[in-house]
Each structure stands twice: as C-alpha cells, then as structure tokens.
Structure 1
Amino acid sequence: MDTPRVPALTPRAAPQLLQLAAEQPSTVISVVVQKQTHDQSIEALLANLGGTIVRDLPIINGFSAKLQAGVIRHLANADGIRWISLDTPVIKQACTGQGCIDPVRLAAAYPQTISADRLWNRATPLRGQGIGVAVLDSGINPQQDLYDNVTWKDRIVASVSYNDGWNQTPYDMYGHGNQVAQIIAGNGSTSNYAYVGIAPRANLINVKVSDDLNQGTATTSSMVAGMQWIYDNRAKYNIRVVNISLTDSVVESYHVSVLDAAVEQLWFNGIVVVVAAGNGGAGSVAAPANDPFVITVGAADDKATSSPNDDTIPTWSSYGPTIDGFAKPDLVAPGVSITAPMPVPNNSLAQTYPANVTAGLNGTRNFTMSGTSVAAPIVAGAVALLLQDEPNLTPDQVKYRLMATAKPIGSAAQSGAGEINIQRAVDATTTQSANTGTAISQLNNDGSSPTTWTSTTWSTAKWSTAKWSTAKWSTAKWSTSAQIMTPPRTKTK
C-alpha cells in the first residue's frame, strides 16, 4: 500500500481565501481561525483589523469570525496563526425526489438486509438500550416513535442548537434530521411496526447544526461547535456514537480540515463517528468522510428485498481514494429508497418533493429518501446494538469488527469491506483494532512531526492536551454533491 502523502507547505490560509483577498478585498466573509497559541493575541489582532468573533471553538483551539477579505493575508502572516479556513457550507448527503418486534410486519427491507431484526428478540434483546447516539443534523422533533415503547419515556434525552439561520430552536422543520433519527431509533409504533429503526430503544442526543431553510445548510463552525458540545457532554448522556450525514463542500486533505481534526478528537475519546460518504461518485470524498479513522459509509441498493444477495452499489455513492491516498468508504449499507415516518407533515422536504410522501396509518405520513445520508444512520444504529452487547469495545475495535464481518459486494473500491451485517458483528469475538499506524491529522499533532495512532497513543486524549504546532498544507479544491431522485417502494420477500 502506498504511504499517504503529507501535504506540501503553503501559506497559512486556504487558497480560496487568498484569492478572495486579492479580487474582492472589501467583501465581508466568514472564516474559521486556528491558533498555535493559547493566549488572546490573535483575537486582539482580529479586532484591530476590524473583524468580529462569532463563536469560540476550543475543540480546535480556534474561533469563527467575520472580517473583510482584504485583511486575510495580514492575519495569515501573524505569529500564532495555525490556519485560516473559509467557513464553508456543509452539504446534506441525502437525495430526495420521485422516486417484541414482529419482523413480518416490516415494510422496509433494510433492517433484515443487515440482520438487525435477528437481534431485537434474542433472550437478551439488543435494541440499543442505554446507548446514546448523537445526531449532528437539522434537529429532531419530539414524536411518538422516539419514545421508549416499554417505559414510554422520551428517548430524545438532550437537545441543543448551533445553526445560524432561521429557527434556532432544536426542532426540525426541514425534515432531514427527523428522517435520520427515525432510521437510527424509531420504535415503529405509529406505523404498526412497518418502519422500525435499527436500534429502537437507543437514546438520541439532538445536536442541531443546520438550517431549516437553504436546503438544510450547515457551516464548518456550527458543526465544530456541535462536536464540542458532544465532547463536553459525552459522559452525561453516555454518547457512544455520533451520526454525521453531511460533508464539506470542499475536497481537501484531512491534514487541513478542521472537521477532520474535530471528528478525530471525538474518536480518540471513545465515540464511534459514522459519516456519510457523499453522493458524488468516484473521487469525491470530502471531510469528514475523508478522515482515515472514522467509519465512512457508502450506499447499497437492497432492491427492496430482505436478502443481501441481490444488492448492488449505485453509481452515485462516493468513493475514493481520498486526496491523501486512503480507500473510502469503509463499508456500505442500504441507501436507496429508505422510507420512515414523517412527524412534521409540512416540512421543507415534503413541500419540495411531494411525490416522495406516502400515506401512513391514522392520518400519518411517511417520506422516502435516497443517499449515503440515509445509509450512515443504518450503520450508526447497528453500532448502538454492538455497543449494548459489548460496551467496552473501542471505536477502533468497532470499526475492525464491522469491516471483518461485512458481506463483500461489488468492487472493493466502491464498497470497501462490503455491506454491514450486524448479527455477524455481534456474534464475532475478535477484538483487533483498525487504524493502527495511521497518521493523525496534523491539526492534532503534539509537535512538528507526524504522530501515528496505536491503541495506547492517547489512552485518555483530551482537547486541553492537544498542542497546535506548525503544519504542512495542501491546496483546497471546491466540489459539488449529486442529487439522486428515487421513488418510494415497498419490500418484497
């Protein structure tokens, strides 16, 4: 295997920022600033240059700010600056458009495709009890399917919001976060168990980072702020998994992405990070899906059948190698025509794609989506089942277990280890670790030389112990994401 390359040294600001500084110096822009120091000298310099701090981001030893583009070069040359990034839009990786639990009632195929249904009714049922799954998305609304169907307590145990646009409550009027939450942990009660999430008794932690308008857009800084909250509250809510169904609009090295630096810190602190690969096909894997540590999930088409034997990989599912030479995705899960109950009938997705709305029971409605955005929460729910069964597994052990027990499908380039089979993963006994020897993001280095990861590198990694030394940088490139239209469909046996 080729050694992933280390980015070449360039100025301490993203190239597109330097271009904006030259071409549109009076334009006010949003940036994310990272510091090498832990004092307030950079904040003071920013104020002297006419800039305004918007949000403190201690998870990356930095902050987000607004300033005129013309002062970027001056700020980038200051002592104590590590890197300045554009506070870029972060894209939903979902596509929409036309297009005891009784498994016999299931109308959706995906729980049986990955064998989750075989774990729900064991002597010791595995339904995600006690495991906290954080959903970094457009919010989650209180709804019947997200109550515990044994105790009838609300399983949305915490809700916070960091989005910058309209409706800064934690509620989802866009529709994406609710869909993700249902796929992870819906209990099926509103649909008479036709649509049941993978971990129907897991707890959900609602971290809203994207807007209800503008197609659910998030920003780098809102995502990092959300991840900071997850880190700070991980013990309080037993957050063991985080689902991120968004990717950056810039394709770049993981050594220069603050999103990658942040997800690595969650990973090193015991949280399994599951990320959608994207919907752009070959060579389009962006942060944080490009990070070598996290579990990057591509999409499979389950053909609406319970057996995985006829499954294929849709051409739009993103795959690598990444800019740094890592193979992605790590595995795949069903991601075509995934249907779930829709608790807010007038959300933006339903209004934009009315053909994807179908009638449910007692006046309820369902919504169908396709994309790696709905494949990732299938894996996040599966991880909750595995961690309920073996709570002492580390993120690296979880990743290795899922990949070692996946069913090969299509080409390895497109599907990684293959399609997830959570029953095999639970029944397996290996405790080997993935990622050993992998270089951590240079934004997380403690010193100027690359650090490689082993199971004992940071036994108790903490944000406060991360030092911010000089790093090497590569050229950032812009990319777009694909939109895939698929009609609703029902399961066949």
Structure 2
Amino acid sequence: MKKIRFIFCKLTVLFMFICFLGKPVTPLAEGSEIPSDTKDQMQIPLEGKDIVPQELIVKFKSSVSSEEKNNILKSVDAIEISSLKKGAFSLVKVSGNLAIQDVLKVMRGYKLIEFAEPNRQVRNAYIPQDPRYGEQWHLEKIKMKETWNHTMGSSDIKVAVIDSGVQLDHPDLAGRLIDPYDVITGSSTFTPDEHGTHVAGIIGANLNNIGVAGIASNITIMPINVFEGDAADLFSIVEAIHYAADNGADIINMSFSSNAYSLVMEQAIEYADSKGVLLIAAAGNEGSETKTYPAAYEPVIAVSATDSKDKLASFSNYGSYIDISAPGSGILSTVPNGVYGYMSGTSMAAPVVSGVAALILSSNPKLNADEVREIILASSEDLGSPGKDIYFGAGRIDALKAIIKTLPPKDLLIVSHPEFYMNGKNKNIISVNAPSGKKVGLYIENSNRQMIKKLAAKDNWSGGEIIAEWDGKQGNGLYAYGGSYKVIAAISDGSTKTFHTEDIKIIDQINPAVKLSSKK
C-alpha cells in the first residue's frame, strides 16, 4: 500500500486519516461545541525557535485504552517515546515527513485527547546582562545563573563587611550600601580602598546591565572600615564586630586573618554568635597549615580558596579548622573610581560564601545561624578526599544546591488553628517539614514549659512533611484547660538541635459531663 501524503487544507481531508487498522477513534463531530481546554490550547503558538523538532506533549483522557492510544498515534505516523507515571502526559515523536503544526491540528480533533502542544526548550529565566559577567568564572562555577531563578536576595538581609573602606558611590553598588561606619574616626565616611570595595562587590554588586554581577544583588551591605592605612588593630576589629551585631547584621564577613590567637577577639565572636549572627572568615594566604584567626574560632565558617579547576589555590591556607572552600583565584569585582579589577585570595573566597548565605536567609529568614551553616556545608560539592578534609572542608560551595536545600519558612511548622475552639470532636492539624536523616519530635507544651502531649517522634526521618492531629487531649487522656500553649518541632542531627515553635490558644468548649444520682 502506498504511503499516503497528508494534505490538511480541507476539513474533509482531515477525516480521511481516522480510519485505520484496529478500533476506530472518533474525532469531534462537525458543529459540536469546542471544550474550554481546547479553546485554551488555541492560544499556544505552534511555531518558534524553541520548539523541539518533531516532538509533541499529549495528554490523553483517562478513559483511553492502550489500543485507542496506539491507533491515534498511528494515524499521524507517531510513536510514544516517554510518559509520566499514571499516564498523565505522553512525549510523542512524529515522523520527519510531517509538519508538526499540521499533526497538532489533527490530534486536537480527537475526543480522547484533552490537549496537545509542541515540546519546547525552556531557557533560564534570568541571564545577566552585566557586560563583564562572562569574566566572572566563579559565578558559573557555583551555578549562580540557575540560582537567580530562585532568588536574588532580599533587602531585609544585612551583611556587614568588616574590612577597609568601600567606595560608597560606586555605580555597581548603588542602593546596596547602608549604615556605613568608620571605627577609626567614628564617622559614616571613609577613604575608598580596593580590598573592601572588591569584597563588597563579590557579595552584592547590582544586576543592573553595567559592570559585574554580585551573588546576592538585592541584599543590603553594611560597610565597616577598621583599617588605617594598611593595618587594622585588634581593638578596632572587636569594636566593629560589636557594632555589626548591635546594628542588625545577619551575617558578618571578615576577609582578614592573623596567626595569633586572641581571647578578646574570641569573646567578640562569641558575643556576635549569641546575637544570632552568622560569622564567615577567610583562612589566609600563606599556603600554610597553621591556624589563623578569626577563621579558626568555633562559631566561624572558615573558608579556603579554590581555582577555576576546583583545585586548592596555591596561596590558600588549609587545616583541620577549614569548613568549606570557595572560588578565590582571579576574581573580577568592583574597585574604587567606579571601575573593576581582578584580585586573588581567601579574602575573595569568604564573600562568595557570605553572598550564598545571604541568599539562603533571603529564602527563609526564620533560619538561625546554625541552620544556615548546616545548609551551606551539606550542599557543598565534595572535592579532594571523600568527606571533610583539611583542604576543602566539606567541599566547594554550590549556590544552587544550597537554595534547593533551603525550605521556605511556611513549610517548617504549620498549625491549622492558632485559636483552637476545642469541643472534643474537632481536630487541629499540625505539620512540620524536616530534611532527611533527622530526628524529629513534635509535641505540645503548656505555659509552664511542660510537655503535655507528644504528637510525633521520628528517629531517622526520610524527609518531607510530618502531619499530626490533636483533639486537645493531653497524654494522660484528659482535655487541656483553656489557655496558652506552644506547638514545638524539635529537629536534631545528633550534634545540634533546632526548635521551631508556634503559639496556640485553646478556647475550651467542651460541655462537662455530670452524672446525677437520684435518691429513693
């Protein structure tokens, strides 16, 4: 039998191809009403450079049989090459001899097809237009282009840059700098310096079609100058740490180091940590295993530097105190006089981590410093020896993995009825979303901080949402009195434990049951 060439110019020709071997499949009857979803798909363009050649996505009705589906595909010389589970969608490949637009018109006529449209290539929603973005290899390495599709940061997140002076009027930092402070003079102005301006640009240079791109372009930066010439003294650094912690910094970036341990600096670090500030510091550039400070203090994330080949940079310090590594060799960023320049050092690696940390907090501002730290380390790209090592720590930072691993705040702990009108029959639905591998406890506490009801306990949670119901009964079987209570989710990995709480008020509407005895 000769192969028939399809000509779709006339409606009568359309119906020539609905009869074939097997059970016939009926297209829409002439004059019948077009379903609403068919009207919607009429708006889908059938042409464009993004269309994958000869591929369609087809949704068959749930009532379609395998035989009917095969017959439809045969009618247009097509095959199913993939499908989602439960048959929700089919990826269909059409013969190269047929025009995809013509095949679509035919397939949309079948009653057993809900809709069909071309398969298309989807590009990243955001492609930086900053002219020197292509020179910033570190952004490609940590997958920033993909990460910006999720977040570019929030202005509510504040990163303190304790460093030398930042150029406050640099065009690529416009709108990003707030509350500048010079510890040396006590003023809000200082002389711009290459180092501080470069560090600030790595963290938050604007995505504004000029110059370079920063990692977290929508966050705010608090520049604090501690340098007088080429040197900064210990007391000025301690004062700067206190200033940042007392003025709302969420993150402190410290791109400086010293081989000398200092008790006063350690106490300043502990003070900032007690205020909930995430502390990040450069490991230093001597190519040595000697501990450096503030990086080696316990609360601080210590950062070593990598090159474009994911090798430890030749200048980078290393050692058991290293927590993570980040690109730090040949990094392009902002410098004074409104221009740009390359610099290398762990001083450049630390702000890469600070920028990613700012994006994590932007995605979920309810996270505490320990939780942000855990996300950064757990999502890193393992380099060197498997697991943590002295060169790369947990690995090289990966922004995209970190953001994907960050749970949005609404998914942490949800209580369906913060005011629970308890009547003995209704239930309050409580859910918590926890990562895999965690020990999770979900319970109710009274105003005296006593646990009155355990709702759920998981020793090694597989990850995802835990849902529990509470009817108001305590662990002893009695209903709770009206008043204020807390729902608490405790999430632990064995070494650290975090708590998420929601207040709940119980309004007691249970009618007391009184049993009366009659006297004879």
Q: TM-score, normalised by structure 2?
A: 0.51
1:271-318 CA-partner distances (Å, limit 9, x unpaired): 11110011122322211111122111110102xxxxxxx321123211
| Residue of structure 1 in register with 2:158 after alignment | 132
| Structure 1 residues 223 and 311, CA gap change in structure 2 (3 angstroms) | same
| Residue of structure 2 in register with 1:416 after alignment | 393
Query: Separation in 1 of the partners of 2:402 and 2:254?
Result: 22
Query: Separation in 2 of the partners of 1:228 and 1:129?
Result: 22
Q: CA deviation at 1:456?
A: 7.7
Which structure 2 residues correspond to residues 448-487 of structure 1 after superposition, within 5 A?
455=497
| Residue of structure 2 in register with 1:221 after alignment | 235
| Structure 1 residues 228 and 372, CA gap change in structure 2 (3 angstroms) | same
Which structure 2 residues correspond to residues 340-489 of structure 1 after superposition, within 5 A?
340-344=333-337, 365-411=339-385, 412-428=389-405, 429=407, 455=497
Query: Separation in 2 of the partners of 1:251 and 1:287?
Result: 7
| Partners of 1:161 and 1:207 within 8 A in 2 | yes
| Residue of structure 2 in register with 1:285 after alignment | 291
Higher RCO structure (Cα 8 Å, ≥6 apart): 1
Higher helix share: 1
Query: Separation in 2 of the partners of 1:233 and 1:138?
Result: 19
| Structure 1 residues 233 and 169, CA gap change in structure 2 (3 angstroms) | closer
| Residue of structure 1 in register with 2:180 after alignment | 159
Amino acid at match of 1:102: I
| Residue of structure 2 in register with 1:232 after alignment | 246
Q: CA deviation at 1:155?
A: 2.4
Which structure 2 residues correspond to residues 22-171 of structure 1 after superposition, within 5 A?
102-103=127-128, 106-107=133-134, 108-122=136-150, 125-142=151-168, 143-147=170-174, 154-163=175-184, 170-171=189-190
Query: Separation in 1 of the partners of 2:296 and 2:393?
Result: 13
Q: CA deviation at 1:133?
A: 0.5
| Residue of structure 2 in register with 1:55 after alignment | none
Query: Separation in 2 of the partners of 1:172 and 1:433?
Result: 50
| Partners of 1:243 and 1:376 within 8 A in 2 | yes
SS at match of 2:181: strand
Q: CA deviation at 1:232?
A: 1.8
Query: Separation in 2 of the partners of 1:456 and 1:399?
Result: 13
Larger Rg: 2
Query: Separation in 2 of the partners of 1:222 and 1:398?
Result: 27
Matched, 1:259 2:290: no
| Partners of 1:331 and 1:417 within 8 A in 2 | yes
| Structure 1 residues 247 and 432, CA gap change in structure 2 (3 angstroms) | farther
1:116-169 CA-partner distances (Å, limit 9, x unpaired): 2212233xx33343210101011222222122xxxxxx22110111137xx976
Amino acid at match of 1:133: V
| Residue of structure 2 in register with 1:244 after alignment | 254
| Structure 1 residues 209 and 129, CA gap change in structure 2 (3 angstroms) | same
Which structure 2 residues correspond to residues 185-200 of structure 1 after superposition, within 5 A?
185-189=204-208, 192-193=209-210, 195-200=212-217
| Partners of 1:184 and 1:200 within 8 A in 2 | yes
Q: CA deviation at 1:343?
A: 3.1
Q: CA deviation at 1:219?
A: 0.8
Aligned partner of 1:337 among 327, 330, 337: 330
Query: Separation in 1 of the partners of 2:214 and 2:380?
Result: 20
Amino acid at match of 1:196: A
Query: Separation in 2 of the partners of 1:380 and 1:395?
Result: 12
| Structure 1 residues 431 and 266, CA gap change in structure 2 (3 angstroms) | farther
| Partners of 1:283 and 1:319 within 8 A in 2 | yes
| Residue of structure 1 in register with 2:278 after alignment | 272
% of aligned pairs identical?
Answer: 30
| Residue of structure 2 in register with 1:484 after alignment | none
Higher strand share: 2
Amino acid at match of 1:141: Q
| Structure 1 residues 433 and 413, CA gap change in structure 2 (3 angstroms) | farther
103-112 vs 268-277, greater mean Cα deviation: 103-112
| Residue of structure 1 in register with 2:310 after alignment | 311
| Partners of 1:244 and 1:274 within 8 A in 2 | yes
SS at match of 1:251: coil
| Partners of 1:276 and 1:376 within 8 A in 2 | yes
Q: CA deviation at 1:265?
A: 1.8
Structure 2 gap segments, 5+ residues each: 1-124, 408-433, 439-494, 502-520
Provide the aligned length of Structure 1 versus Structure 2. Answer: 286
1:191-245 CA-partner distances (Å, limit 9, x unpaired): x35520100111011111112x2x2x111100011111112212xxxx2111000
Query: Separation in 2 of the partners of 1:243 and 1:406?
Result: 19
Amino acid at match of 1:138: S
Query: Separation in 1 of the partners of 2:334 and 2:295?
Result: 27
RMSD in angstroms over aligned alpha carbons?
2.7
Query: Separation in 1 of the partners of 2:360 and 2:395?
Result: 18
| Structure 1 residues 456 and 128, CA gap change in structure 2 (3 angstroms) | closer
| Structure 1 residues 283 and 426, CA gap change in structure 2 (3 angstroms) | same
Query: Separation in 1 of the partners of 2:436 and 2:241?
Result: 27
1:50-75 CA-partner distances (Å, limit 9, x unpaired): xxxxxxxxxxxxxxxxxxxxxxxxxx
Query: Separation in 1 of the partners of 2:263 and 2:191?
Result: 27
| Structure 1 residues 433 and 276, CA gap change in structure 2 (3 angstroms) | farther
